Structure 1
């Protein structure tokens, strides 16, 4: 791993803890403002669809792993060189015991 990547990894690992503490602090601060009346009623279909529509971008952003995958692929390319994106290695014949070839071969008569 390159020195710059190692430093960045250490910084981001330690940056998580203050962010967790800030999130916990804001959560505790906002407890008196909690309003549970929304759980007592059933939203109309239009309100429900609007809520789902507004949540979709948040979910996409929350589960976006492309930056991490990109850095992982760069690190693997650096570590393995030209073998990082080569064709997969063939399995040994012993690992295919009991498996059928796909697509199935036409039977010979």
Structure 2
């Protein structure tokens, strides 16, 4: 079945966490680096407001459709334009020609 090339009209980068040496105390440092840049179709679904520790926090969720890429994992991040998102889940299509990646705004408490 496949996915029409014309529908993949936006560029996204997949980021992975790599070791970046040690700090002055000897603790391991990590950094997010671009693994690959690919064509995608980005669809923002909702922007719900959530209450978290007596403060309002925006929780933005989007779906990103890309050609199937087995190197993309849910512990990675996705950069779209100038914003970086956590990859929440990955759903391959039934025919394995593409996959939908669900992304969410990065939670500051889990920021590495």
Which is helix-richer, 1 or 2?
Answer: 1
TM-score range, shorter chain: under 0.3
Which protein shows a greater Rg? Answer: 1
Could you state the TM-score of these two structures normalised by the residue count of structure 1?
A: 0.19
The structure where strand makes up a greater share of residues is 2
- What TM-score do you get using the length of structure 2 for normalisation? 0.18
